[in-house]
Structure 1
Amino acid sequence: MTFNSYIINDEVIFNMDVNELQPVAGKDHEAITLNTPTARCLQLLLESNGNIISRDEFLSAVWKERGVVVSQNTFYQNISLLRKSLLRAGLTQDVVVTVRQRGFVIATGTVIRQVTLQNEFNSAQPLSTDASMRIINDKYIAKIDDAEVQNSVRKTFRINGLTSRQLSWWTFIIVAIMAIINIIFLCFIFF
């Protein structure tokens, strides 16, 4: 199983697999679960490499490509919710910048570290970590070999997240419950 995440300014981890903002281990903030469109907005901003994303690009990538049409008001509500959630999760400054008449961008100087954690099902081995760092609007891109950052990410996933075994177990339970409900429902319809 692969966990894809971004660490923002060494303060907040954005776990894309569960749409969750988590404070870096040792920080005194709460984990925040984002709704799917808000998480997609954040992902688009983080993957933009410091480029401005227009409102139309957001609407297309987050909603239209999935067959959903929303108002501009819905879009702006999601951006507002994203900003508030990032601050509640532990960021000390707003990193989503409005560029008047053009769109939104991640603030200059924001440090973004992309982290991929891998763990095979039924494996007793610890999570392996591959992390890369980039500073928005800067030319510097480097591999991180910082054991402290890697350990912090591992601790956060152990504390706030589920292990792959727990995740597969809960998935099985949910699917079994759904199957039982469907069988009961079908029995009522046909008998």
Structure 2
Amino acid sequence: MYWIINDNIEFRPGMKRLSSVNNPEMNVTLTSPASRCLLLLLEASPDIVLQQDFFKKVWEEEGMLVPTNTLYQNISIVRRGLRAVGETDRRLIATIPRKGFQIDDSVKISRRNDNEPATPFPVSTTSNQTTYNIPEVFNQPKNDVNDQVLPAETDARTITKEKPFAMSNGVFAASASFIVGLLVVYLAWNINNDADFFESYKFIEKEDGCYFYTKDDSHDNNEYYLKYKSLIKDSGLNCKNYPWIYFPTSQTSPSLAALVCKNKFSTTSSPGCISLLIRGVNGD
């Protein structure tokens, strides 16, 4: 089963892929949660999909509790993917304030069987088309949060640790966001470069069904290891679903970037990992 959107965008949920009907070489591979969000919107159209329905069907059924920002992040990924493949600036997904999202009333959608081909339209003469790597952050809508470059089959979760007072300094906030971005890009780059990423981590202990791995120049400093382990466990992580946990214990980073996986990397080529970001862990 697949979907045709506005006669020129093909969405195949099983492959998490958006592609142009006119030019299949122009395509976008969505993250797993973004793909599930789009599928919910298409199946519910023209009705609204409430925020709680997204949380339940996209994350909670996988054993994850995520903040609202994560939902906005994945809707942003879908919007940019649709714009890129459809080569349009039209609004395809409408935000319903304080409720949820829906496919815009102006959008035409149709559901097709796998053996039913999409009807191609004449291809305009253009330069060579390329595959878009989603997500990238360009001219992001105000209500969307920064999207993250993640490996295939990887979801994203961002948690902000509460501070004793509000930080209003824009320069500091921008710097912190930039540093977090570097952490995520670094994390994704390492994951995509074979098992070297995981092999650099050492097994520390098993606790409550979770296997904790860490790497650090200061891992002997138990204070930071115990602090970060506690933050990860307090995030709502379900050790039954994601028992393999990899995280550094930097004493200077303002954020903790951990990778939690369904399977051990050495037993499968697709460990099914989630990037868990906890901000403000070493703030003053």
TM-score tier (shorter): 0.5 to 0.7
Q: Partner of 2:10 in structure 1? A: 13
Residue identity (%): 33
2:107 counterpart letter in structure 1: T
Alignment of 1:153-168 (within 5 A): none
Alpha-carbon spacing, 1:26–1:34, altered in 2? closer, same or farther (3 Å): closer
Alpha-carbon spacing, 1:151–1:8, altered in 2? closer, same or farther (3 Å): closer
CA deviation map 1:62-92 (0-9, x unaligned): 1001211111111111111111111011152
Aligned mate of 1:152, from 110, 120, 124: 120
Q: Residue 17 of structure 2 contacts residue 30 of structure 2 at CA under 8 Å; is this kept in 1?
A: yes
- Tell me the CA shift for residue 94 of structure 1: 2.3
Q: Partner of 2:72 in structure 1? A: 76
Q: Partner of 1:38 in structure 2? A: 34
Q: Residue 7 of structure 1 contacts residue 112 of structure 1 at CA under 8 Å; is this kept in 2?
A: yes
Q: Partner of 2:185 in structure 1? A: none
- Tell me the CA shift for residue 54 of structure 1: 1.3
Uncovered stretches (5+) of structure 2, i.e. residues with no partner: 122-130, 132-265, 268-284
CA deviation map 1:98-130 (0-9, x unaligned): 01122111100311111111xxxxxxxxxx32x
Q: Residue 6 of structure 1 contacts residue 114 of structure 1 at CA under 8 Å; is this kept in 2?
A: yes
Aligned counterparts of 1:111 and 1:20: Cα–Cα separation in 2: 18
Q: Partner of 1:101 in structure 2? A: 98
Q: Residue 21 of structure 2 contacts residue 119 of structure 2 at CA under 8 Å; is this kept in 1?
A: no
Q: Partner of 1:112 in structure 2? A: 109
Q: Partner of 1:141 in structure 2? A: none
1:64 counterpart letter in structure 2: E
Aligned mate of 1:63, from 26, 50, 59: 59
CA deviation map 1:158-182 (0-9, x unaligned): xx9xxxxxxxxxxxxxxxxxxxx75
TM-score after normalising by structure 1: 0.59
Alpha-carbon spacing, 1:150–1:96, altered in 2? closer, same or farther (3 Å): closer
CA RMSD of aligned residues (A): 2.3
Q: Residue 46 of structure 2 contacts residue 102 of structure 2 at CA under 8 Å; is this kept in 1?
A: yes
1:30 counterpart letter in structure 2: M
TM-score after normalising by structure 2: 0.40
Alpha-carbon spacing, 1:100–1:151, altered in 2? closer, same or farther (3 Å): closer
1:96 counterpart letter in structure 2: I
Residue 22 in 1 paired to residue 19 in 2? Answer: yes
* Higher fraction of helix: 1
Alpha-carbon spacing, 1:151–1:79, altered in 2? closer, same or farther (3 Å): closer
SS in structure 2 at match of 1:17: helix
Q: Residue 14 of structure 1 contacts residue 20 of structure 1 at CA under 8 Å; is this kept in 2?
A: yes
Q: Residue 86 of structure 1 contacts residue 94 of structure 1 at CA under 8 Å; is this kept in 2?
A: no
- Tell me the CA shift for residue 151 of structure 1: 4.6
SS in structure 2 at match of 1:105: strand
Aligned counterparts of 1:63 and 1:26: Cα–Cα separation in 2: 33
Q: Partner of 1:49 in structure 2? A: 45
- Tell me the CA shift for residue 40 of structure 1: 0.2
Aligned counterparts of 1:11 and 1:31: Cα–Cα separation in 2: 12
Q: Per chain length, whose mean CA-contact separation is higher, i.e. which structure has more relative contact order (CA < 8 Å, sep 6+)?
A: 1
